[in-house]
């Protein structure tokens, strides 16, 4: 007897990368700017007790930094937990989840896990998106949930706030705006949560705040949705150490402004250097640059230079995503890429 449930028999799980490289530009992890390297947990920390399930202190800090009311914030074990929670809360078997492709793969992975039907509209050829087409599709197929990653991973494309408002004004589906990279460019939609009964915004501490190891993300929505999703969420998923360190980190949250400026400058550098090499690179509102380059085994060749970036397959074969790293890392990446291209040309 086949015991595995039907929906996940063909599931391709999210692949994490365990390759060790000196220069790691594959996962968009920001740099740690908020915590001292020698941070220690206070003596007397109660490891034996369950964490505060309300994460009250952490919510306070997030609220202080973002200006969002604590009752509209639900923190969790990375925004990945929040993506799963939304689907878990709203999608029954065969319900439809709508998004664009390419986008963050966890929307379709969790859809499949919950036996929901993931439907996607292709991005335009230049990876911009057609919100009118998405809205029309939503009116046609009535999805339970619409996911928009804004700005988008892996393309870096930013949807204008007015277009998201257009979608919200023309659908009753739950609209999830995943703002994992919003700090790097664009207007957040977060202040609209009370205006709409169906808007959820997801944020993370993994990118601009440079704390991917902590596993800390949060959902922002109206009271009704936050209360509903809180009931679905397993207790204590946000561990006490993460809450404690998260609070400490957020006390220094003002530091992100300077860091973001630096990332934007370096992003511009990477983009311009790629363009100079006649590589098709895409304007990005994130902490990475997406580009197209046809070179056999490019990932392997870069790894020989000690550099790890992200490659794709299927429709995105020969597309790559390079995270914005430190100044010296970005320079080394560009130098190595130039050398690889030169060697290719010699061989032709």
Ligand X SMILES: *Cc1c(COP(=O)(O)O)cnc(C)c1O
Figure out which of the listed residues 99, 111, 153, 287 binds ligand X, where binding follows CB under 6 A: 153
Please list the alpha-helical segments (H only) found in the chain: 56-66, 78-90, 106-113, 131-141, 161-169, 223-232, 240-250, 256-276, 298-304, 327-347
How many residues lie near ligand X (CB under 6 A)? Answer: 12
CB 118 within 8 A of CB 82: no
* 123, 212, 240, 299: which one binds ligand X (CB under 6 A): 212
Q: Is 48 exposed, middle or buried (0-12, 13-18, 19+ CB in 10 A)?
A: exposed
Binding mask of the shown chain, residues 89 to 128, with x at each position contacting ligand X by CB under 6 A? ---------------x------------------------
Give the span between the Cα atoms of 122 and 30, in whole angstroms. 29
| Using rule CB under 6 A, residue 80 touches ligand X | yes
**Secondary structure letter of residue 292 according to DSSP:** E
Per CB under 6 A, 178 contacts ligand X = yes
CB of 268 to ligand X, least distance (A): 21
Closer CB to ligand X, 178 or 183, in the complex: 178
- 204 makes contact with ligand X (CB under 6 A): yes
Q: Should residue 250 be labelled a site residue for ligand X when binding is judged by CB under 6 A?
A: no
Nearest residue to ligand X, scored by beta-carbon proximity = 78
Residue number with CB closer to ligand X (143 or 217): 217
Other C-beta atoms closer than 10 Å to the C-beta of 231 total 7
Our finding on whether 329 is near ligand X (CB under 6 A) is no
Q: Supply the minimum distance, in Å, between the C-beta of residue 233 and ligand X.
A: 15
Contact pattern for ligand X over residues 32 through 71, marking x by CB under 6 A: ----------------------------------------
Question: What count of Cα atoms within 13 Å lies in the side-chain half-sphere of residue 272?
Answer: 7
Bridging pattern class, strands 145-149 and 96-101: parallel
138, 173 contact by CB (below 8 A): yes
Mention every residue, 6+ apart, whose C-beta is less than 8 A from residue 293. 279, 280, 318, 320
Using CB under 6 A, list all residues that contact ligand X: 78-80, 104, 149, 153, 178, 180, 204, 206, 212, 217
């Amino acid at each position: 007897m086949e015991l595995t449930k039907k929906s996940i028999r063909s599931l391709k799980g999210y692949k994490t990368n365990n390759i060790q490289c000196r220069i790691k530009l594959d996962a968009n992890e920001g740099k740690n700017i908020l915590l001292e390297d020698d941070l220690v947990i206070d003596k007397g920390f109660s490891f034996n007790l369950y964490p505060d399930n309300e994460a009250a202190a952490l919510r306070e800090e997030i609220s202080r930094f973002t200006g969002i009311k604590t009752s509209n914030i639900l923190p969790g074990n990375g925004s990945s937990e929040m993506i799963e929670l939304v689907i878990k809360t709203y999608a029954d078997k065969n319900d439809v989840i709508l998004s664009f492709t390419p986008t963050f793969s966890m929307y379709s992975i969790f859809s499949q896990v919950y036996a929901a039907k993931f439907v996607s509209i292709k991005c335009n050829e230049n990876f911009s998106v057609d919100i009118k087409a998405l809205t029309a599709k939503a009116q046609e197929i009535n999805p339970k949930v619409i996911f928009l990653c804004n700005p988008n991973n892996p393309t870096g494309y930013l949807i204008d706030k007015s277009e998201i408002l257009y979608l919200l004004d023309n659908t009753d589906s739950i609209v999830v705006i995943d703002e994992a990279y919003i700090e790097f460019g664009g207007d957040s939609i977060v202040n609209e949560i009370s205006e709409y009964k169906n808007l959820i915004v997801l944020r993370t501490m993994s990118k601009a705040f440079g704390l991917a190891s902590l596993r800390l993300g949060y959902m922002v929505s109206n009271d009704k949705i936050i209360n509903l999703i809180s009931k679905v969420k397993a207790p204590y998923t946000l561990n006490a150490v993460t809450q404690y360190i998260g609070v400490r980190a957020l006390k220094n949250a003002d530091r992100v402004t300077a860091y973001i400026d630096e990332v934007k400058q370096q992003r511009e550098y990477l983009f311009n250097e790629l363009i100079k090499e006649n590589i098709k690179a895409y304007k990005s509102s994130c902490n990475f640059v997406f580009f197209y380059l046809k070179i056999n085994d490019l990932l392997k060749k870069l790894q020989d230079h000690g550099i790890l970036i992200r490659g794709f397959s299927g429709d995105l074969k020969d597309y790559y995503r390079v995270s914005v790293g430190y100044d010296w890392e970005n320079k080394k990446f560009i130098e190595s890429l130039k050398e690889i291209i030169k060697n290719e040309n010699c061989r032709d």
